[in-house]
Amino acid sequence: MQILNEQFVEGIENLISADGTRLHLHSWLPVSSPVKRVFVAVHGMGGHGGYYATSLAPYLAPTGVAVYAPDLRGHGLSDGKRGDIESFAELEADVAAAVGWARKRHPGLPLFLLGESMGTPLAIIHAATSKGLLRPDFLVLVACVVAPTLTPRVDEIFRTTFYFATNRRKIALPITGREEQGVRDLDFVKILKSDGLFNRRISVRFLLSMTKSMSQAAKLHHRLTMPTLLLQGGKDITVRHRPTRAFFNNIAATDKEMFVFPNAFHAILNDPDSPEVRAKILTWIERQEAGVGG
């Protein structure tokens, strides 16, 4: 199915991950200009690629960007158990499948890999360890969580401890209920709360695997040699800001930029400052196209 907009066409694709899992892939292609570059966007915890229909695609596609966003397994309309996973290596394989699919669809074009929130460690690991055509040309990290901070309530600590000891696979840990602490755009808060595709609970096993993925990504800065852009909210309470800055400073790429939006919360693509965030992304893309950076 395709939905035609005046400036871009929205479509749905299906692709298969390495182990045969079917993935739902959202696509947005420019209408009035040829595709000049490719974006693969990796969503955050509980979400799905459909959110980029309003936060990114309407701004990138008209400039000649083909935007693709998979629903990671167990998310959105993709196959896989919702809220539980054996290992984040499975999600990393989903990212590789999406990048490989985009490369085949647009051979020879520059590819930007964007990770948001939980998607940032997945994007970092893929960028740092992939080879050949699977290796992205550029990396964009939005609301980077290589140094997370946790402030659980007493009941959350008790619940996590209980299921850690009894059943790590049980999908019992709520990840919703405090949306306003991470999202400043109240309209988007309403969308999250009413979205039937949003995962609202995870297992202890999912939590442990996610934490391990973040820790792994934090150690791979020396292998990120492609131009890298990192965008962070100054009032993001889910991350430790000093270690995040240290991670950025240690990235091996000579062409790297970091911008902090002082008043923005975690969800900076859905924030009153989102127009500035998107402007930074677009300006950075143009600079890369002009060959100013490394």
Kindly report, residue by residue over 60-96, the tens digit of the pLDDT: 999 999 999 999 999 999 999 999 999 999 999 999 9
- Crossing angle of helices 204-218 and 119-129, in 10° steps, is 50
Return the SS3 of 116.
strand
Structural domains in the chain? 2-290 (3.40.50.1820)
Sign of CA dihedral 201, 154, 160, 166: negative
| Residue 254, pLDDT above cutoff 60 | yes
Sign of CA dihedral 27, 28, 34, 35: negative
Antiparallel, parallel or unpaired: β 111-116 and 37-42: parallel
In which band, very low, low, confident or very high, does the pLDDT at 3 lie, cut at 50, 70 and 90? low
| C-alpha–C-alpha distance, residues 275 and 294, integer Å | 26
* Percent of all residues in the chain with a pLDDT value above 70, rounded to a whole number: 97
| C-alpha–C-alpha distance, residues 239 and 244, integer Å | 8
Alpha helix segments (H runs only) across 89-235: 89-105, 119-129, 154-166, 186-194, 204-218
| Residue 293, pLDDT above cutoff 90 | no
| Residue 2, pLDDT above cutoff 60 | no
